[in-house]
Amino acid sequence: MSLESFMIKNEAQEVDYVASKRFVDKETGKPEVWKLKSITADENDAIRKQCYKQVQNGKKITREFNTVKYLEMLVDKCVVYPDLHDVKLQDFFGEMDAIIMLKRHMLTPGEYDDLTQKIQEINGYNLEEEIEEAKN
């Protein structure tokens, strides 16, 4: 055992990912590679805090977590390329909201779900374990 084993910095991890085979590089004819990055736990906390809302149930007020909003914000933060905030891309699709552009104009529902799953995976969420737990 050595304390030095823990002396590593948590740096953003960048991953190549093919989100859709429909986007093809005109020079190579191969699917366009997207760049995804991981975020820090602090960045994740900041996103999560924005995804809670207070809901009144009778006389009680509870907090509910909006998972869809969380995943959308996570995707927005983790997709590096293509730059979803690039004005030329937004002008082409006629959409200024990056996530609406991605969901409505760029990716199919399955492609978007696969993208969110990959982003969760590179951020350390092991979905297979969670799926197995849900089954039991």
pLDDT in tens, 71-129: 999 999 999 999 999 999 999 999 999 999 999 999 999 999 999 999 999 999 876 65
81 contacts: CB under 8 Å, gap ≥ 6: 33, 34, 35
pLDDT value at position 132? 54
Radius of gyration of the chain (CA): 18
pLDDT value at position 129? 54
Within the chain, where are the H helices?
41-49, 67-78, 87-93, 98-100, 109-122, 127-135
Query: Across all residues in the chain, what is the average pLDDT?
Result: 89
Structure pTM? 0.82
Q: At residue 58, does pLDDT exceed 60?
A: yes
Q: At residue 41, does pLDDT exceed 50?
A: yes
d(CA 110, CA 97) in angstroms, rounded, equals 20
pLDDT band at 134 (very low <50, low <70, confident <90, very high): very low
Topology of the domain comprising 10-39+67-125: rbstp2171 (3.30.2220)
d(CA 101, CA 116) in angstroms, rounded, equals 15
